[in-house]
Amino acid sequence: MKQGVLISTVEHLLSSLYIFGIDNAVVELDNLEVPILDGSALEFVSEIQRVGLKQQAASRTYLVIRKELHLAERGKTISIYPAESFQICYSIDFDHPMIGKQTFEFDASPENFAREIAPARTFGFLHEVEELRKNGLVRGGSMDNAIVLTKTGILNDILRFKDEFVRHKILDNIGDLSLIGCPFIGRIVASKAGHALHTLLVSRILGDPANFELMPEWKAAEVAAG
Ligand SMILES: [Zn+2]
């Protein structure tokens, strides 16, 4: 299946849970897909904030990066570096008048995520949407749940940020990183990467124990309440 275009996926939900430090939650679905909602993580975040978090008396383990790692594939790159906290510097370069070169530096915290990343919507090209619709892969796909790009502009009225596109890439990147399975301490630098490179990075990190150290933190973990 073609990836990343108007198809509802799990990464926006995982991304929100991960950044809020929720490592104990039950997710119930009544269909094959997580609802795409408006194409962003805004609603997941506002519901998490509304319901609140509950601390549990369990220790949490952090994965702390100890070694640099660089992956490259046809002009796309992703690297990790040891750092004091979880950071992502992401760049994209799309040959499109509404996008072009965009770089965003994200310093991970629930507050920064809610303000800078969660509202950024997924995006896709109109011709791809039409193709997907023809093949029955998109049912509800419309401007209500994505930024729809034409050859020269966008069909939606306004962008939420001038660099909404690169911010959304960070949202997806965090969702893929959540597959690590515990909080991550390190710096990611990515350029024109995507789902495939994100998940490859995760398996490379976990593939060699010399890349990281698991640090138990004897502090109560947080879970979603209610
Ligand atoms: Zn996405």
The rounded Å distance from CA 179 to ligand 1 centre is: 15
Homologous superfamily, domain 11-224: lpxc deacetylase, domain 2 (3.30.1700.10)
The rounded Å distance from CA 164 to ligand 1 centre is: 12
Query: pTM of the prediction?
Result: 0.89
- d(Cα 61, Cα 53) in Å, to the nearest integer? 18
Task: Give the rounded distance of the alpha carbon of 205 from its chain centre.
Answer: 18
Token reading at 170: 């960070």
Confidence at residue 162, expressed as pLDDT on a 0 to 100 scale: 95
The rounded Å distance from CA 52 to ligand 1 centre is: 24
The rounded Å distance from CA 123 to ligand 1 centre is: 8
Confidence at residue 2, expressed as pLDDT on a 0 to 100 scale: 45
| CA atoms within 13 A of residue 148's CA, in its CB half-sphere | 16
Q: Look-up: residue for tokens 């930024």?
A: 147
The three-state DSSP-derived secondary structure of the chain is CCCCCCCCCCHHHHHHHHHCCECCCCCCCCCCCCCCCCCCCHHHHHHHHHHCEEEECCCEEEEEECCCEEEEECCEEEEEECCCCEEEEEEEEECCCCCEEEEEEEECCHHHHHHHHCCCCCEEEHHHHHHHHHCCCCCCCCCCCCEEECCCCECCCCCCCCCHHHHHHHHHHHHHHHHHCCCEEEEEEEECCCHHHHHHHHHHHHHCHHHEEEEEECCCEEEECC
Confidence at residue 213, expressed as pLDDT on a 0 to 100 scale: 94
Catalytic residue among 12, 96, 168, 195: 195
- d(Cα 69, Cα 181) in Å, to the nearest integer? 19
Confidence at residue 142, expressed as pLDDT on a 0 to 100 scale: 64
Confidence at residue 137, expressed as pLDDT on a 0 to 100 scale: 56
Confidence at residue 132, expressed as pLDDT on a 0 to 100 scale: 67
Q: Which amino acid is at 5?
A: V
- d(Cα 8, Cα 108) in Å, to the nearest integer? 24
127 is annotated as an active-site residue: no
Confidence at residue 120, expressed as pLDDT on a 0 to 100 scale: 97
Are 211 and 66 within 8 A, CB to CB?
Answer: yes
The rounded Å distance from CA 121 to ligand 1 centre is: 7
Predicted confidence pLDDT, tens digits, the chain (226 residues): 444 444 446 899 999 999 999 989 998 888 777 888 899 999 999 999 999 999 898 888 999 999 999 999 999 999 999 999 999 999 999 999 999 999 999 999 999 999 999 999 999 888 877 776 776 655 555 678 889 898 899 988 899 999 999 999 999 999 999 999 999 999 999 999 999 999 999 999 999 999 999 998 744 344 455 4
Confidence at residue 224, expressed as pLDDT on a 0 to 100 scale: 52
| CA atoms within 13 A of residue 45's CA, in its CB half-sphere | 23
The rounded Å distance from CA 168 to ligand 1 centre is: 6
Q: Where are the domains of the chain?
A: 11-224
Confidence at residue 129, expressed as pLDDT on a 0 to 100 scale: 74
